[in-house]
Amino acid sequence: MRKIFISPSILTADFARLEQECKALEKCGADWIHCDVMDGNFVPNLTFGMPIIKSIRKCVVLPLDVHLMIDRPERYIAQFAEAGANLITIHAEATENVADCLKLIRSCGKKVGISVKPNTPVEVLQQYRGLFDMILIMSVEPGFGGQSFIEESVNKIRRARELFPDVLIEVDGGINKHTAKKVIEAGVDVIVAGSAIINVADRKHAIEELRKM
């Protein structure tokens, strides 16, 4: 049986209590912490940048899974690496220099992720084969937590698994215990969940529920 990693997104956490929130997630059995960086251009929302990643780095030992929803991420890769990200994911739609950007992440000694929005076919990633360790399939339009899972994502995950048997596949958006089952069956390794973990009283239980096959 393969291991399923749970990467809670802090997007819906209380940002005034980020230290306690992150420590609580660590205690509750999270495998990674998913950090959603948004620039108000690539997506119609703004969140946080390097200083917050740097602060989170000091409060937990868990790997930081940094999801960059920003245009031309190559401008900031070195700074996110320096701030303490362990895995840096960029969007295939965010830059004209995807390959260089992926190489840059690797040259900073970090794990490399590449993400596709719901309308971008996973086939576009074939040209970057060998340059990434993980594919992030967005199962909602990026930008906001609490949206409904796009069902077509299940087929997309299956296709990604076929095309790229050797990389991790992560899914992000609208994941709860029901959708988690479907995506695990389709082949994901890493589950991102925001509201399904953060907005419930028993987060430990919520994390355990998501892991169930």
Burial class (CB in 10 A: 0-12, 13-18, 19+), 126: exposed
Tokens 């005034």 appear where? Answer: 16
Minimum distance from CB of 128 to ligand DX5 (Å)?
A: 20
Among residues 49, 113, 173, 187, which is the contact residue for ligand DX5, using CB under 6 A? 173
> Known catalytic residue: 202?
no
Q: Give me the numbers of helices (H) and strands (E) for the chain, helices first please.
A: 8, 8
Helix (H, G, I), strand (E, B) or coil at 15: helix
Side-chain-facing half-sphere of 84: CA atoms under 13 Å: 20
146 part of the interface to ligand DX5, by CB under 6 A: yes
Minimum distance from CB of 96 to ligand DX5 (Å)?
A: 22
142 part of the interface to ligand DX5, by CB under 6 A: yes
Options 36, 65, 189, 202, the catalytic residue: 36
Q: For the chain, what is the radius of gyration of the CA atoms?
A: 16
118 part of the interface to ligand DX5, by CB under 6 A: no
Query: Considering beta carbons, is residue 140 or 183 the nearer one to ligand DX5?
Result: 140
The candidate with the shortest Cα–Cα distance to 135, out of 74, 94, 95, 187, is 187
190 part of the interface to ligand DX5, by CB under 6 A: no
65 part of the interface to ligand DX5, by CB under 6 A: no
The candidate with the shortest Cα–Cα distance to 125, out of 174, 78, 159, 81, is 159
> Known catalytic residue: 31?
no
Using CB distances below 5 to 8 A depending on partner kind, what does residue 49 bind out of Zn ion, ligand DX5, none? none
Residues in the chain: 213
How far, in Å, CA of 132 to CA of 57, rounded?
A: 23
Minimum distance from CB of 147 to ligand DX5 (Å)?
A: 6
Site string for ligand DX5, 67-86 (x = CB under 6 A): x-------------------
Minimum distance from CB of 16 to ligand DX5 (Å)?
A: 18
Per DSSP, the residues of 38-71 read: EBSSSSS-B---HHHHHHHHHH--SPEEEEEE-S
Binding site for Zn ion (CB under 5 A): 36, 67, 172
Using CB distances below 5 to 8 A depending on partner kind, what does residue 187 bind out of Zn ion, ligand DX5, none? none
8 part of the interface to ligand DX5, by CB under 6 A: no
Q: Which amino acid is at 158?
A: R
The catalytic residues are: 36, 172
In the complex, the residues that contact ligand DX5 under the rule CB under 6 A are 9, 11, 34, 36, 67, 140, 142-143, 145-147, 172-175, 192-196
